[in-house]
Amino acid sequence: MVEYNEKLMQWINCKPSTEAGVGNIQTPGVVEHLVWQNRYREPSEYEQSLIDHLIHAFADGAVELDAVVTSLNTQGLLNEGGEKWTSENFTFEMARLGY
């Protein structure tokens, strides 16, 4: 199974065509459905660790931003810069990662 959509890499920062039918990621009617349609690469170790810690936070009942941030810090996960999580840097990181 492919873990990411290999066709998306070439489309990062690409300008879409203004002509109909030109510049499609796939040929209409001939679409290979992938499990990870929106990935252009596999998650990094950092991203996978963040995902695992978020799953744990949600499983423990964290649904509000402050509770999620507190849970990540309680679990000992630091952000990619090696800092403790805050509401601000968590919000920035989710926007940066596209989640």
State pLDDT tens for residues 33-54: 666 666 777 889 999 999 999 9
Residue 66 phi/psi, 5-degree rounding, is -60, -40
The reply to whether 33 and 72 lie within a common domain is: no
Report the C-alpha gap between 17 and 52 in whole angstroms: 38
Residue 76's pLDDT is: 97
Range of the domain at 4: 1-42
The count of domains in the chain is 2
pLDDT at residue 17 in the model: 56
Task: Give yes or no: residues 23 and 57 share one domain.
Answer: no
Convert the pLDDT of each residue in 55-85 to its tens digit.
999 999 999 999 999 999 999 999 999 999 9
| Maximum distance among all Cα pairs of the chain, rounded to whole angstroms | 52
- The string of pLDDT tens digits covering residues 10-27 is 666 666 555 545 555 666
Same domain, residue pair 5 and 32: yes
